[in-house]
Amino acid sequence: MQDEKEFTPELQEEQKHETKVTSDPLNERKPERGGAVLLWSLLICMTVVQTSYFNVVALLPLYVKAHHNVFSFFELGILLGAYQFSFSFASPIVGNNLSSVGRRRMIFIGVWLMTGAVALFAAAAFFENHWVFYAISLIARLIQGGADSLLSVSMLSIAIIEWSEEAELY
């Protein structure tokens, strides 16, 4: 027979001390290789997302005035503000589910949602009916804001995890 120790509270305490417990396993992993590639990838992704947002803000009022001059400034403001509304609504939900879904998966979903939403927003221009254009544009803007929250929250979380030692500097 094997030499078995009887399970006692003292043995349990001894086993606790033998097991190495790390306070934060994310800090154990340092970005030795690929840290710069990861940083540039995150920055490029964020730049593309923000560029699509700012292009819409700059060009949409001019397009609507030229092609769909039936909308008031209030309706145009709702269309532009839908992005921020859905971003603000989705960000806490994304943050709460980041660990369970995964940061890379959130970025993957966000990129595809943003791509689809930009394509949908562009397709709205093909509709001559003013209210069809408005409805499709509003749906696309809501999806864009949600997709941006997936990307922004995930990318900032990755940056903090990868460069946590320097977090106080920034």
85-96 residue pLDDT tens:
999 999 999 999
pLDDT at 55 over 80: no
Spatial distance between the Cα atoms of 139 and 124, rounded to a whole number of angstroms: 10
| Confidence class for position 103, pLDDT limits 50, 70, 90 | confident
pLDDT at 118 over 80: yes
Mean pLDDT confidence for 2-26: 53
What are the residue boundaries of the structural domains of the chain, listed by start?
A: 44-169
Q: Which of 14-18, 57-61, 117-121 has the lowest mean pLDDT?
A: 14-18
Task: Residue 104: name the closest of 162, 144, 169, 22 by CA.
Answer: 162
pLDDT score at 26: 46
Span 128-141, pLDDT tens digits: 899 999 999 999 99
pLDDT score at 11: 56
Mean pLDDT confidence for 65-74: 86
Spatial distance between the Cα atoms of 135 and 141, rounded to a whole number of angstroms: 10
Spatial distance between the Cα atoms of 57 and 8, rounded to a whole number of angstroms: 68
Q: pTM for the full model?
A: 0.69
Spatial distance between the Cα atoms of 156 and 42, rounded to a whole number of angstroms: 9
> When comparing pLDDT for 29 and 161, which is higher?
161
Q: How many residues does the chain have?
A: 170
Percent of the chain whose pLDDT exceeds 70:
74
